[in-house]
Amino acid sequence: MKVDTVIVGSGSAGLSALREVRRYTEDFLLINDGHWGTTCAAVGCMPSKALIEAANAFHRRLDLNEFGISGADGLRADIPAVLRRVRKMRDDFVKGPKSMPDKLGDRAISGRARLLGPDRIEVNGDEIEARAIILAPGSSPVVPGPWEKFGDRILTTDTLFEQTDLPPRVAVVGMGAIGVEMAQALARLGLNVAGFDAADEVAGIDDARVLNAFRPQIEAEMTLALGAPADLEEAGASIRVTGHSSSFDADVVLAAMGRRPNVDDLGLETLGVALDDAGLPEVNPVTLRIGDLPVFLAGDANGYRPLLHEAADGGHIAARMAAPEAPEGGLCRRTPLTIVFSAPQVARVGLPLSDMGDHDVVSGCVDFSTQGRARMAQTAAGVLRVHADRETGRLLGAEMCVPSAEHLSHLLALAIEQEMTVDDILAMPFYHPVLEEGLRSALRDLAKQVPAKGGSDLSRCKELGHDALE
């Protein structure tokens, strides 16, 4: 069998690639192993955010008395009902990818693909020759081999949302973005949660000042044991999880130690290029091409920014570069942006502070624990730091743990993507009372440290004559 383009994987990257491939050919095959749904919709962003929304709605009861609302003591989180809603929403979000085989007919194949070389691939015993191959096999949660003996008491995000109920004591091992989000959500739903991590960081925070503001917020809601690998052992009916100088008896353990590219049986070794210790070839981030081959590796599987919006860009880039008359060069990646949907939310935009070594960096900071609008909403907490080049005032990056970081980080992402200076962003209107005024305080703190513009955010303009005001 011979086709123009083969796409392996029907996740976010594969489906994004498909959309672009169909601009140049209908002679394609989409091969997928397992369920026809994206990681995001099935076991990632969507069910996790549905769970977080329920958890935050329940947690809000603790503020009600301060607002002047009574009766909060009578509220109960019904875990089976919460999980049922999560699955109901999830089922709705996966409908699109699930219908792919029906829509594509015999151009969609269910089965595990394996490369035979740079222009040949095998699936279900059939050999396919292709002009271009786009690999987007995705990733899977890491679970240490020795944990297998604990059976279904070890959960991952693949199985967490399938539970019909949850026991009262949950250990979460791995306090990165996903670990923090899930640990806090389960704690807010009334479960007894302990979080463990081998490192001292949580939520992937790079800036020590942001980490110092965030850690006590999380520690107020759960036991945290950071700085040593978690050790698991049987203890009666429990799993005893031992981390840095403390242990916790759990009913179940959520493994949140990251995800691994699904490349084990992909046949990458047949491509004739060097593979690293993880079995991955070098991939150019602006073309996603492997070496000079007509083979592309996109999405979580290439290990580059494993986030939905980057996977979608990756599929898009790979397919554009796989086109028969692809132009020279590649497509630029966007300003880096990561968001953790904790409370307060964590976000980073642009370069991490620890990677700004090439610049003479000046920093602005604001403490959100006294921010006016946040105080009115009973959500005041956290800090936001923003960094610029001292000489030019150009914004380089920001990191924060503040309420609505998801929104403030998008504003900063636009500014950084457009290579703005701190004066450029300060020229915009900041309404009142809004959280963006907190960001402005950090920007003003920064502006004081770059060459002066005269103390006004407003630019000079010609007098208009004595027209009446609008």
Closer residue to its own copies (CB): 26 or 466: 466
Residue 168 CB, shortest distance to its own copies, in Å, is 17
Closest CB to its own copies among 291 and 294? 291
Give the nearest distance from C-beta 89 to its own copies in angstroms: 6
Specify the residue, 35 or 309, whose C-beta has the smaller distance to its own copies: 309
Cα–Cα distance list, 100 to 24, 90, 96, 358 (Å): 19, 17, 7, 47
In the chain, what is the straight-line distance between the N-terminal and C-terminal CA atoms, in Å? 70
Whether 177 contacts 340, CB under 8 Å: yes
Question: At its nearest, how many Å lie between its own copies and the CB of residue 124?
Answer: 31
Q: How far is the CB of 13 from its own copies (least distance, A)?
A: 13
Beta carbon nearer to its own copies, 148 or 276: 276
Length of the chain: 470
Judged by beta carbon, residue 227 or residue 291, the one nearer its own copies is 291
When the beta carbons of 76 and 358 are compared against its own copies, the nearer one is 76
Q: How far is the CB of 303 from its own copies (least distance, A)?
A: 6
User: Which residue carries 């964590």 as its tokens?
Assistant: 346
How buried is residue 74: exposed, middle or buried, by Cβ count under 10 Å (0-12/13-18/19+)? exposed
Strands 113-117, 120-123: pairing is antiparallel
CB of 325 to its own copies, least distance (A): 13
- Helix axis angle for 177-188 and 208-219, nearest 10°, is 30
Whether 135 and 295 have beta carbons less than 8 Å apart is answered as yes
Q: Which amino acid is at 461?
A: C
Beta carbon nearer to its own copies, 373 or 387? 373
Residue 102 CB coordination number (10 Å): 9
Instruction: Take residue 45 and report the two structure tokens written for it.
Output: 């962003």
Q: How far is the CB of 221 from its own copies (least distance, A)?
A: 18
Distant-in-sequence, close-in-space partners of 456: CB < 8 Å, separation ≥ 6:
none
DSSP for 192-251, please give it: EEEEEESSS--TT---HHHHHHHHHHHHTTSEEEESS--EEEEETTEEEEEETTEEEEES
- Closer CB to its own copies, 237 or 458, in the complex: 458
Contact 383, 213 (CB under 8 A): yes
* Smallest separation (angstroms) from its own copies to the CB of 91: 13
Nearer CB in complex with its own copies: 2/88: 88
β-bridge pairing 395-402 and 383-389: antiparallel
For the CB of residue 218, give the shortest distance to its own copies in the complex, in Å.
21
User: Measured between alpha carbons, how far is 398 from 375 in angstroms, rounded to an integer?
Assistant: 23
